[in-house]
């Protein structure tokens, strides 16, 4: 499999996963125009997309959905709760929605997709893992907390897209109102750099070779800070972040390099 993020962070999330000429998009939180421009720049014809998978209904994950589905009529795989939310907000989606209960698996040839519930303040959020060609990629962002379901879902992944949203001290000392701070740091908010690094470490312990830190906050994080925190935690556990794994932070507003899974 090949994975690249097209955008990552609170201003928009979209990831492309490809294998044997099949292409999926995970979330579409940037404009349809940006998605098609990025795909074309990556050498992928937007008409060759086979499906869209949506983690949850927050606008940084669905901003491009209405235009994208109008133009390309893609089937949308998401949880029943997210599907209901999308129907409330957008007309004409009923025929495209393919609700999948969190925890269920399905075939989307050549991929085997498995979903898992996540703890986040949306209707029924979920994450995804993808298996193809004997390899596994896991996609885990927008996690208030790492639950046993998340841990067991990402086990055995060769590549992990892992939330690394904020530095806890930066949030606490920053200008956000108390309610927003409590939301970000709460069990249905976002994963801190440290918590994300611990999730990555457990995945590396099970054989993961590539970790892409994702969904970085623009206000409460920087790519360098997220990477430094992860490197420190990996080193303390005996993992050399330069030699043993490929560790990178997904760029906020342009496509990442291509990662082979």
Binding residues (CB under 5 A) for Zn ion: these are 58, 60, 142
User: In terms of CB distance, is 82 or 229 closer to Zn ion?
Assistant: 82
CB of 235 to Zn ion, least distance (A): 29
Residue with the closest Cβ to Zn ion?
58
Cβ at position 13, least distance to Zn ion in Å: 6
**Phi, psi angle pair for 193, to nearest 5°:** -55, -45
- Strands of the chain, DSSP E: 2-7, 14-19, 22-26, 49-53, 76-78, 97-99, 105-108, 111-117, 126-132, 135-140, 159-163, 210-214, 246-249, 259-260
Buried b (16+ CB within 10 A) or exposed e, 63-98: bbbbebbeebebebbbbebbbbbbeeeeeebeebbe
Question: What is the closest distance, in whole angstroms, from the C-beta atom of residue 118 to Zn ion in the complex?
Answer: 9
222 or 246, CB closer to Zn ion? Answer: 222
Query: Closer CB to Zn ion, residue 2 or residue 121?
Result: 121
CB of 6 to Zn ion, least distance (A): 14
Q: Which is nearer to Zn ion, 182 or 235 (CB)?
A: 182
């Amino acid at each position: 499999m090949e994975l690249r993020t097209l955008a990552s962070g609170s201003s928009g999330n979209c990831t492309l996963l490809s294998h044997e000429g099949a292409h999926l998009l995970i979330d579409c939180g940037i404009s349809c125009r940006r998605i098609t421009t990025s795909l074309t720049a990556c050498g992928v014809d937007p008409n060759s997309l086979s499906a869209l998978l949506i983690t949850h209904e927050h606008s940084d994950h669905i901003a491009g959905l209405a235009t994208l589905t109008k133009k390309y009529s893609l089937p949308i795989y998401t949880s029943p709760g997210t599907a209901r939310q999308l129907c409330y907000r957008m007309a004409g989606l009923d025929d495209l929605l393919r609700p999948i209960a969190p925890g269920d698996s399905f075939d989307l040839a050549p991929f085997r997709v498995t979903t898992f519930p996540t703890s986040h303040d949306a209707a029924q959020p979920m994450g995804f893992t993808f298996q193809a060609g004997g390899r596994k990629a896991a996609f885990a962002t927008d996690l208030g907390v790492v639950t046993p379901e998340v841990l067991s879902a990402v086990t055995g992944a060769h590549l992990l897209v892992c939330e690394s949203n904020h530095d806890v001290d930066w949030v606490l000392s920053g200008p956000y109102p108390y309610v927003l701070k409590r939301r970000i740091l709460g069990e249905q908010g976002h994963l801190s750099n440290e918590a994300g690094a611990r999730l990555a470490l457990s995945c590396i312990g099970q054989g993961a070779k590539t970790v892409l830190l994702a969904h970085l906050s623009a206000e409460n994080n920087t790519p360098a800070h997220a990477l430094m925190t992860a490197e420190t935690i990996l080193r303390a556990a005996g993992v050399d972040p330069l030699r043993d794994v490929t560790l990178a932070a997904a760029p906020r507003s342009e496509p990442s390099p291509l990662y082979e899974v």
